């Protein structure tokens, strides 16, 4: 081994990227675990996206109702209905225990990307 060169898989610029990926993974998983443990389990009424009061009684709607979707389809077309449905789903990922799963998935994806980039950087170039 030459002087000035580190040994192992954490040496050089690819090694620093691997360390960054490892840190992202560990911090992301700890954050996801904390969110999961400290968030109370959701109940059916808590996860509802809309409420309607009819005759003094409260009713919950999971993803809007068919009448609203029909009105939206008339005004904006079927693409608008798909866009609203996707927006509701995406917004649901940032609340409660779903946030923990989202954080874990994002941390794993970013860490995998860092390891992949580090592996590409470590490959020798063939000229």
Residue-wise pLDDT tens digits, 40-99? 887 544 555 566 677 777 766 655 567 888 888 899 899 998 998 899 888 888 888 899
Q: Which residue has the tokens 């840190």?
A: 23
Statement: residue 5 has pLDDT above 50: yes
- pTM of model > 0.85: no
**Residue 114 CA from chain centroid, whole number:** 17
Q: Which residue has the tokens 């192992």?
A: 8
Q: Determine the Cα angle at 52 with ends 49 and 56, to 5°.
A: 145
Statement: residue 118 has pLDDT above 60: yes
Looking at residue 102, its pLDDT comes to: 95
For residue 1, what pLDDT band results from cuts at 50, 70 and 90?
Answer: very low
- Percent of residues, the chain, with pLDDT higher than 90: 40
Distances 41 to 17, 60, 68, 92, 122 between C-alpha atoms, Å: 36, 18, 29, 14, 44
Whole-number Å distance between alpha carbons of 106 and 32: 10
Looking at residue 51, its pLDDT comes to: 65
Whole-number Å distance between alpha carbons of 78 and 70: 9
Q: 63 and 85 in contact (C-beta within 8 Å)?
A: yes
Q: Region 98-121: what's the mean pLDDT?
A: 95
Q: 98 and 92 in contact (C-beta within 8 Å)?
A: yes
Q: Tell me the CB-side half-sphere exposure of residue 111, using CA atoms within 13 A.
A: 16
Looking at residue 49, its pLDDT comes to: 59
**Residue 74 CA from chain centroid, whole number:** 32
pLDDT: which is higher, 73 or 6: 73
Decide: helix, strand or coil at residue 10: coil
């Amino acid at each position: 081994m030459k002087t000035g060169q580190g040994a192992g898989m954490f040496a050089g610029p690819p090694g620093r990227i691997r360390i960054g990926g490892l840190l992202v993974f560990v911090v992301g998983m700890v954050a996801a675990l904390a969110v999961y443990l400290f968030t109370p389990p959701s109940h059916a009424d808590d996860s509802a996206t809309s409420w309607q009061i009819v005759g003094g009684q409260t009713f919950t709607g999971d993803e809007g109702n068919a009448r609203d979707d029909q009105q939206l389809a008339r005004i904006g077309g079927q693409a608008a209905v798909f866009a609203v449905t996707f927006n509701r789903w995406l917004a649901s990922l940032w609340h409660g225990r779903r946030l923990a799963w989202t954080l874990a998935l994002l941390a794993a994806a970013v860490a995998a990307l860092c390891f992949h980039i580090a592996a590409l950087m470590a490959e020798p170039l063939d000229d």
